[in-house]
Amino acid sequence: MQNFIQKTLPVGRLQCNCQILVCKETLKAVIVDPGDEAAFILKEIKEIEDVLGAPIQVKALLHTHAHFDHIGATRAVKEHFIAAGVDAPQIFLHQADEVIYSRLPEQGARFGFQFVPPLPVDQYLQDGQKMGVGKMKFTVLHTPGHSPGGVCFRKHEDSEASIPESVFTGDTLFRGSVGRSDLWGGNDQQLVQSIQTRIMTLSDDTIIWPGHGPSTTVGHERKTNPYLNTRA
């Protein structure tokens, strides 16, 4: 029986894939890329709690990068837990994206969105950093190219807990495509190098959960992704 819950929530007008990951055994959770629609995200958490019959503790808000469509609901989600008087989740981001993060209102204005300034980052992510939340074990992979501080979160397989090997790639790698490199601090050559050296080195059956669009696998992208085949 699967000992964790994963909900993929496309949020906002750009349909960022916000991920809610819950360890059913410990009732601890993380949210990856709370990009928009804080009320929707919190509603889904409440529904998970109703199914489990117990409150869950969201330990971390993990960000693959700091573009507005991936951080837009971070403040509201954290402030909800602060107002509820419970331990609020910590905000995690790679330091190389902090300047982009701090300019959230300016980012939004460029694309016609309005945002208030973000809350401070609680912890900076480091390449190779190990993170554990309940039975879920993660490794941080620094994958610059879409943004200077872009990261992927590798979630390690745990057969006893029925947790499959997977990687949350943000806007670094999509099904059949790769992230754009013409935004703040992007670099095309660095992007492809990150994909080839940090993601394509994982096993073929590793599930890829991108920041937009459907899931895929490392093996499928290795064989069919035209951007990797032509630009590598």
**Ranges of each domain in the chain:** 4-231
The answer on pLDDT for 36 being more than 70 is: yes
Burial 110-147 (b: 16+ CB within 10 A, else e): eeebebeebbebeeebeeebebebbbbbbebbbbbbbb
226 — pLDDT class (breaks 50, 70, 90): very high
Listed range (114-123, 124-133, 156-165, 166-175) with the worst mean pLDDT:
156-165
Q: Could you tell me the two tokens for 196?
A: 């080839």
24 — pLDDT class (breaks 50, 70, 90): very high
1 — pLDDT class (breaks 50, 70, 90): low
The sheet carrying 136-142 orders its strands as 130-133, 136-142, 151-155, 166-170, 207-210, 216-217
Q: Would you tell me how many other CB atoms lie within 10 Å of the CB of residue 21?
A: 27
The domain 4-231 having CATH identifier 3.60.15.10: the answer here is yes
What average pLDDT score do residues 44-69 get? 97
Query: What is the residue-averaged pLDDT of the chain?
Result: 95
pLDDT of residue 164: 87
What average pLDDT score do residues 47-67 get? 97
Residue-wise pLDDT for 158-211, tens only, equals: 877 678 899 999 999 999 999 998 887 889 999 999 999 999 999 999 999 999
pLDDT of residue 183: 81
pLDDT of residue 232: 38
pLDDT of residue 14: 95
